[in-house]
Structure 1
């Protein structure tokens, strides 16, 4: 799993041009799932994200986690994070998991993240046309790959 974390002061997603879901201070997480991902990736990545010290303390030093700030999360599925651009100019998404594998893992990841945060999270809709708007606070953007744990 690849996760792109963006610390935000606010964010929203417009789904299929109809429904808007919003958060305040917190994280937008773009999540890419590949065929080789499993429950171990979910557990490791959800714990890593909620404990990541990327929020400012009273001295404005990034020393606190989203748990310390009781922040919100907007989770968006994004298969394009697994794009291979080695050959030609058209990305290949061969590593991205097919929906029958990715959807259950995406849903389990959302539940694990919610459990770690001890609060509900906001999600996009897997496979939908989504327009994500956010105000990146900092800016702070972190990329985490569950296959690079060592």
Structure 2
């Protein structure tokens, strides 16, 4: 499982011109389930994200988590994070979880996030989404976890 975290001042996602999720300060989470990912890995990824200290304290040091600052989470599925470009110029996505399993793991991540954090918005799995954000810093953190 992998994710890209972007610390944002605001972020939103739209489908067919309609905004379906939006947050102010917080984290935009681009999430990719890969073949072999487990429910335990979903929990491990979420725990890491919620506790990651990438928000500034009064001294300007990255000492606060998204939970500490009361920020939102905007969770967007993005299977293209599993792209393998080692074999040529066209990416292969065979490392991504099959669609049904990818959806199940994404929805599990969202369910667990909503149980653990008060502000959670989402994209729409497998939709053509348009994501807008104001990256704060910019701070962009890739996270990859394996079973």
Category of TM-score, reference length = shorter chain: over 0.9
**Aligned residues of 2:20 and 2:123 also touching (Cα < 8 A):** no
Over aligned residue pairs, what C-alpha RMSD do you find?
A: 1.2
Matches for 1:42-53 after TM superposition, within 5 Å: 42-53=42-53
- CA–CA distance in 2 between the matches of 1:142 and 1:2? 11
Distance 1:52 1:86, change over 3 A: same
- CA–CA distance in 1 between the matches of 2:57 and 2:139? 15
Q: Structure 1-normalised TM-score?
A: 0.94
Shift of 1:19: 3.5
- CA–CA distance in 2 between the matches of 1:128 and 1:82? 17
Q: Which residue of structure 2 aligns with residue 83 of structure 1?
A: 83
Aligned-partner SS, 1:134: strand
Structure 2: give runs of 5+ residues left out of the alignment. Answer: none
Q: Which residue of structure 2 aligns with residue 121 of structure 1?
A: 120
Matches for 1:23-102 after TM superposition, within 5 Å: 23-102=23-102
**Aligned residues of 1:46 and 1:116 also touching (Cα < 8 A):** no
- CA–CA distance in 2 between the matches of 1:139 and 1:92? 29
- CA–CA distance in 1 between the matches of 2:19 and 2:56? 32
Q: Which runs of 4+ in 1 moved over 3 A?
A: none
Aligned-partner SS, 2:22: strand
Q: Deviations over 1:66-119 (max 9, x none)?
A: 0111100100000000000001100000011111111111000011122222x1
- CA–CA distance in 2 between the matches of 1:99 and 1:124? 16
**Aligned residues of 1:16 and 1:128 also touching (Cα < 8 A):** no
Aligned-partner SS, 1:14: strand
- Tell me how many residue pairs correspond in the alignment: 147
**Aligned residues of 1:7 and 1:28 also touching (Cα < 8 A):** yes
Aligned-partner SS, 1:106: helix
Aligned-partner SS, 2:49: helix
Q: Structure 2-normalised TM-score?
A: 0.96
Shift of 1:134: 0.2
Distance 1:26 1:120, change over 3 A: closer
